Amino acid sequence: MVNLSKSVICIDIGNTTSHIGVYKNGILVKENRIKSSSLMNNPKKNLYDYDFSSFPLSYCSVYPMAEDSLLRFIRNKKINAFNLNNKTKGNFPINYPNPREIGQDRLANSFAVYYTSELPCIVVDVGTATTFDIVTQNGGYEGGVIAPGPQGFLDFLNQNTALLPEVNLNEFITGSSIGKETKQAMLIGANVGHISMKKGIISTLSKEIEKIFLKKPQLILTGGACISSNFPEIKYIPDLTIYGLALAYQLNASKSATDI
C-alpha cells in the first residue's frame, strides 16, 4: 500500500470530457470536469486559475489533438510536467504484448489500484468507451475489454437510423421501464442495456480470474459517465484516474524526463 503525499495538478484528457484535479499534500482539494474540445480550443482560458508555479502537472490523454494543445500551453508557460505512459510507468508491471496500445487513462486506473487496493481487481471505467481492466499482483496490468459507453448506444441509433432523434444521456428520467415516447424509449434502452452489458462482462471476467488466480476479484467503478451497475459489491471511486496520475508522479517523475 502506497500513500499519496505529493502536491500536484492532474489532468485526465478523455475523448469527451477532461477531469482536472488538484492534490495538496496528497489530499484532493479541487476538481473540475470540462469538455475536452474546450480544453483543446483554449487551454489558457480553462487552466488560467491553476497555480502551476507551485504545483507540477501530471497528465494522461486519449485525445491527441487536445494533448497537442495542452503541450503548446505547457511549453509556453515552461510548466514542469509528467506524462504517464508505458515508458514512464516505473516499476509497475505490464503483462501485455504491446504496452504502447494501452490507453493512458487505463494505465492510470490500473496504476492506482495496483498500489492501493486488494488484488486481483477489475476496474470498470465508464466514459465515451467503457473499459474493463484486469490488475493482478504479479502481472500488474493484464489486459481487459473495451465496449461502448452508454452515450454510444444513443449515438449509434441516431446516426444509423432515418427517424430516431439525437438524445443526450443526461436527459434520462427515472421511472417506468416502458417508454411512452421515442426519446424515453431510447434512454431506457441505453440505460438498461448498458447495465446488462456491464454485468455480463464483469461476470465472465470474474469467473476466468477466479479460475486462474483462485480468488474472487475486487470490483472498482470509475468514469465521468457512470450509471448504476446493479452490482452491490462494486466500489465507486470517481477520482481514480487522477489519483493514479498523482501517484505515478510521486513514484516516477524523478526517474523520468519532466521537460515535455
Residues with a known catalytic role: 105
Rounded Cα distance, 6 and 59, in Å: 15
Q: Which of 145, 143, 146, 89 is nearest to 115 (CA)?
A: 89
Q: Report residue 197 CA to chain centroid gap.
A: 18
Rounded Cα distance, 80 and 95, in Å: 30
Query: 142 is written with which cell numbers?
Result: 493484464
Give the length of the chain.
260
Rounded Cα distance, 183 and 168, in Å: 9
Q: Which of 131, 149, 133 is nearest to 141 (CA)?
A: 133
- 155 and 148 in contact (C-beta within 8 Å)? no
> Three-state SS for 182?
helix
Rounded Cα distance, 172 and 183, in Å: 9
Angle between helices 104-116 and 240-252 (to 10 degrees): 80
Q: Which of 116, 122, 92 is nearest to 104 (CA)?
A: 92
